[in-house]
């Protein structure tokens, strides 16, 4: 990280063409919002039947479905809440709730996803449209698995829902969920450079684990992680960020992808890709991915210390 290395680095970065993670969001989008899940609309915005049954106005839409049902972000934005919502009374509880702030053509929106089973994001995360943020559930005041979905325009959610609008008007009717499951490409985590106080802070990269200094990368980007190797003494770990570029683990923060079992029945876990079966995992269970490999045309993920699973049995979200 000397001055000399820093100067060379810009040239190297251009030559090796390291691609920051989020530059390839090339999905064509015609409406600023998408329907956040798949299922049957059981209650509409200000549904008279809902008012009659529960004695209160319905400021969202209810979409119901069975099984393991992903819920995705309706638009790009920042997660500002991902926690259990108690409400003033149990009848007012949204259960496991995510709220996301959006800036669409300089208009503020907030979307709310209630009664979730599990969270795949946390407060402060920036999410992209179509990214899975959790799974449909039945938590809080809910009579059966469904997603209660609200959109607020011009202000945040509040107890009187004064900014609520009919999501269906924005969504322009039901549309297909943009599935954004991680496509297997050998990556299993992203990393960012540790020094957050300086966007131009640079860290050395090597051709191998600890050998062959080839340049630097700067802290203003996030990088895909393809693997982890140790130096010849087995002392220092290096992450493989692609294009034969390795970076010392002490210099970075790793964010593993989340792998959720997408099968309807238990799935076998193996000691190595294609090795011995050692255990089973339950449908819907979520793990951190800690490795990825393709062996004889079969794709595998390592799940946080428990073993390897065939990629087809997991939905992996960044």
- Sorted by sequence, the CB contacts under 8 Å of residue 235 that are 6+ apart come out as none
Provide, rounded to whole angstroms, the least separation between the CB of residue 98 and Zn ion.
Answer: 15
Residue among 62 and 76 whose Cβ is closer to Zn ion = 62
Q: How many CB atoms lie within 10 A of CB 147?
A: 27
Q: Which is nearer to Zn ion, 49 or 198 (CB)?
A: 49
Cα 284 from Cα 179, distance rounded (Å): 17
Burial of 97 (0-12, 13-18, 19+ CB in 10 A): buried
Q: Is 85 in the site for Zn ion (CB under 5 A)?
A: no
DSSP 257-268: PEEEE--SS-EE
Q: Which one of 60-68, 133-141, 184-192, 211-219 is the stretch in contact with Zn ion (CB under 5 A)?
A: 60-68
Closest CA to 149 of 258, 64, 270: 64
Q: Which is nearer to Zn ion, 157 or 226 (CB)?
A: 157
- x/- binding map, residues 8-37, to Zn ion, per CB under 5 A? ------------------------------
What whole-number distance in Å separates Cα of residue 170 and Cα of residue 108? 14
Residue in 42, 85, 102, 148 binding Zn ion, rule: CB under 5 A: 148
Q: Minimum distance from CB of 127 to Zn ion (Å)?
A: 22
Residue placing its CB nearer to Zn ion in the complex, 148 or 214: 148
The size of the interface with Zn ion (CB under 5 A), counted in residues, is 2
Residue 47 interacting with Zn ion (CB under 5 A): no
Q: In this structure, what token pair is assigned to residue 7?
A: 């100067």
d(CA 311, CA 218): 31
Identify the CA nearest to 183 among candidates 52, 42, 317, 37: 317
**131 touching Zn ion, by CB under 5 A:** no
Which residue among 33, 34, 47, 62 contacts Zn ion (CB under 5 A)? 62
- 115 binding Zn ion? (CB under 5 A): no
The site for Zn ion (CB under 5 A) is made up of 62, 148
């Amino acid at each position: 990280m000397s001055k000399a290395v820093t100067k060379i680095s810009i040239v190297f970065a251009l030559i090796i063409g390291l691609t920051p993670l989020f530059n390839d969001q090339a999905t064509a989008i015609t409406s600023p919002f998408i329907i956040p899940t798949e299922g049957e609309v059981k209650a509409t915005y200000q549904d008279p039947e809902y008012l009659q049954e529960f004695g209160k106005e319905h400021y969202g839409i209810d979409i119901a479905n069975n099984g393991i049902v992903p819920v995705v972000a309706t638009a790009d934005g920042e997660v500002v809440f991902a926690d259990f919502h108690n409400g003033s009374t149990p009848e007012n509880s949204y259960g496991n709730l995510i709220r996301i702030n959006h800036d669409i053509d300089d208009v503020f929106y907030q979307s709310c996803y209630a009664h979730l089973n599990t969270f795949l994001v946390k407060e402060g995360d920036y999410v992209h449209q179509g990214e899975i943020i959790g799974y449909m559930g039945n938590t809080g005041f809910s009579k059966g698995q469904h997603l209660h979905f609200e959109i607020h325009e011009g202000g945040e959610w509040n107890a009187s829902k004064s900014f609520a609008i009919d999501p269906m008007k924005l969504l322009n009717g039901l549309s297909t969920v943009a599935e954004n499951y991680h496509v297997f490409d050998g990556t299993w985590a992203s990393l960012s450079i540790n020094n957050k106080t300086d966007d131009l802070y640079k860290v050395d990269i090597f051709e191998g684990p600890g050998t062959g200094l080839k340049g630097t990368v700067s802290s203003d980007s996030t990088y895909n992680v393809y693997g982890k190797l140790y130096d010849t003494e087995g002392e220092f770990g290096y992450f493989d960020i692609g294009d034969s570029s390795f970076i010392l683990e002490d210099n970075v923060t790793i964010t593993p992808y989340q792998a959720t079992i997408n099968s309807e029945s238990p799935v076998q876990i193996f000691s190595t890709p294609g090795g011995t079966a050692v255990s089973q995992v339950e449908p819907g269970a979520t793990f951190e991915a800690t490795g990825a490999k393709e062996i004889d045309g079969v794709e595998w993920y390592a799940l946080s210390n428990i073993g390897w699973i065939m990629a087809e049995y997991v939905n992996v979200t960044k």
